[in-house]
């Protein structure tokens, strides 16, 4: 939220005009606007502001396009008297305030839903921990868990069009809850829904995505998880994890469709991938999806976090410079599904507010939910806006988290690793 200096000037309601950047000195819940600070853009906003029953407004001359009406006399500094606790309601504002209160109720419901998604995510991360630890010692049990976890995803994304993708907050289990396979599986399910895959195809896709890197278990840790540039021999050894994964997958009884994903998840459409330099239609259709999503997640969540791209940067790079590497339709569907600013992107809104994209709107991906920085509102009560309901507000640009002021970074808390989970009625423990 753009901050307003204590030295801002004060105007009366009659002096308000379109183009003035004003600050409302009232609690957010007691006026009908989405923000406490904004530029007046319409006659309806003017009418509502004048009907709030307050005696003065602060305005920021640097952010304003015009001077207040009748500004022949010198503007007065803003008074230091405490603001009223609530506006005086009248017919001009009561209907707008009723809409605001309905929106506050929806926001409260939204926050309850997010809590449920976070609980389900932590549970899924626990399943992934068990699979990672015990896949080869207790394969039957782990494969049952993997299939059940994927079945929940398939049911959510294929059967329920309202299923939405969320980015998990930094407090949701900490960084140790990040699992590359889980991220790749969830994103793959999103694409499976949009590309019309059958349930059996989607189930195989999800399991293959969860387990695509299983062959890394046979690669030395210093090479499998190296933060440094690998030498050619080391890189050649690491690339063997595809072959090792197929061998291990056969040992524990993975179906052929899943084995093809494990074998081909690094193959690229232009033939620049590995291990067999396959091209286009030579690559299994399910493996093409995992190769695309795997590439995206590795850009966002590399082993060396200093090299991490934002979700917006990763998608932009893949489309603008590397699109020949991927299945063209799958890449288009991925961009359309995630939106230009995927969950986890830090953005500046068209009114200069700073926000974190928190979840996809599956119907209108360009109008996602965002969590807004506002220092006047406690962080645990942060405003979440559904941009579909805010026609006057757009995302102006994406920002790198490292460039945020410390207080904004602390408030929005973008995770070092971008971790996704889904919201739908099929989630375990979900209460309709």
Predicted confidence (pLDDT) per residue in 232-274, tens digit? 999 999 999 999 999 999 999 999 999 999 999 999 999 999 9
| Whether residue 152 has pLDDT greater than 60 | yes
Burial class (CB in 10 A: 0-12, 13-18, 19+), 72: exposed
Q: What's the mean pLDDT in 130-146?
A: 94
Burial class (CB in 10 A: 0-12, 13-18, 19+), 251: exposed
Give the up-direction half-sphere exposure of residue 255: CA atoms within 13 A in the CB hemisphere. 12
d(CA 99, CA 32): 7
> Is the CB of residue 146 less than 8 Å from the CB of residue 131?
yes
| Helix (H/G/I), strand (E/B), else coil: 375 | coil
Which has the closest alpha carbon to 122: 402, 431, 419, 426? 419
Strands 21-23 and 354-359: unpaired
Q: What's the mean pLDDT in 315-336?
A: 96
| Helix (H/G/I), strand (E/B), else coil: 45 | helix
Instruction: Catalogue all structural domains in the chain, each as residue range(s) with its CATH number.
Output: 9-88 (no CATH), 102-423 (1.10.3210.10)
* pLDDT score recorded for residue 170: 64
Rg (CA), the chain: 25
Burial class (CB in 10 A: 0-12, 13-18, 19+), 148: exposed
Burial class (CB in 10 A: 0-12, 13-18, 19+), 76: exposed
Predicted confidence (pLDDT) per residue in 65-79, tens digit? 999 998 754 455 544
Q: What's the mean pLDDT in 378-400?
A: 89
| Contacting residues for 102 by C-beta, under 8 A, at least 6 apart | none
Predicted confidence (pLDDT) per residue in 272-316, tens digit? 999 999 999 999 999 999 999 999 999 999 988 888 999 999 999
């Amino acid at each position: 939220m753009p901050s307003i200096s204590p030295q801002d000037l004060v105007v009366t309601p009659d002096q308000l005009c379109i183009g003035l950047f004003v600050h409302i000195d009232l609690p957010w819940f007691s006026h009908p606007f989405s923000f406490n600070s904004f530029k007046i853009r319409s006659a309806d906003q003017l009418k509502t502001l004048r009907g709030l029953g307050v005696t003065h407004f602060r305005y920021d001359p640097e952010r304003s396009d015009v001077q207040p009406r009748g500004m022949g006399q010198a503007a007065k500094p803003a008074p230091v008297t405490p603001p009223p606790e609530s506006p005086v309601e009248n017919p001009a504002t009561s209907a707008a305030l009723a809409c605001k209160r309905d929106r506050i109720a929806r926001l409260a419901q939204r926050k309850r839903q997010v809590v449920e998604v976070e609980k389900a995510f932590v549970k899924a991360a626990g399943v992934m921990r068990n699979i990672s630890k015990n896949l080869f010692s207790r394969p039957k049990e782990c494969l049952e868990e993997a299939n059940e976890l994927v079945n929940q995803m398939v049911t959510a994304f294929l059967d329920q069009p309202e299923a939405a993708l969320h980015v998990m907050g930094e407090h949701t289990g900490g960084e140790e809850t990040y699992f590359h396979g889980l991220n790749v599986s969830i994103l793959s399910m999103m694409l499976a829904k949009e590309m019309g895959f059958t349930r059996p195809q989607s189930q195989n896709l999800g399991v293959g995505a969860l387990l695509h890197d299983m062959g890394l278990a046979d690669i030395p840790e210093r090479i499998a998880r190296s933060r440094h540039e690998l030498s050619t021999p080391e890189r050649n050894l690491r690339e063997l994890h595809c072959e090792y994964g197929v061998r291990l997958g056969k040992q524990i009884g993975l179906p052929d469709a899943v084995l093809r994903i494990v074998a081909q998840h690094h193959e690229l459409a232009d033939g620049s991938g590995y291990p067999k330099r396959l091209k286009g239609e030579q690559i299994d259709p399910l493996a093409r999806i995992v190769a695309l999503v795997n590439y995206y997640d590795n850009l966002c969540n590399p082993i060396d976090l200093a090299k991490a791209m934002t979700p917006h940067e990763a998608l932009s790079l893949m489309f603008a410079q590397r699109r020949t590497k991927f299945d063209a339709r799958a890449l288009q569907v991925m961009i359309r599904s995630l939106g230009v600013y995927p969950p986890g992107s830090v953005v500046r809104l068209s009114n200069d507010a700073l926000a974190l994209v928190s979840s996809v709107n599956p119907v209108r991906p360009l109008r996602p939910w965002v969590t807004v920085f506002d220092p006047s509102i406690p962080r645990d009560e942060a405003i979440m806006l559904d941009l579909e309901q805010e026609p006057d507000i757009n995302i102006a640009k994406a920002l790198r988290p490292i460039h945020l002021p410390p207080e904004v970074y602390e408030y929005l808390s973008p995770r070092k690793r971008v971790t996704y989970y889904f919201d739908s009625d099929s989630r375990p423990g979900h209460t309709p």
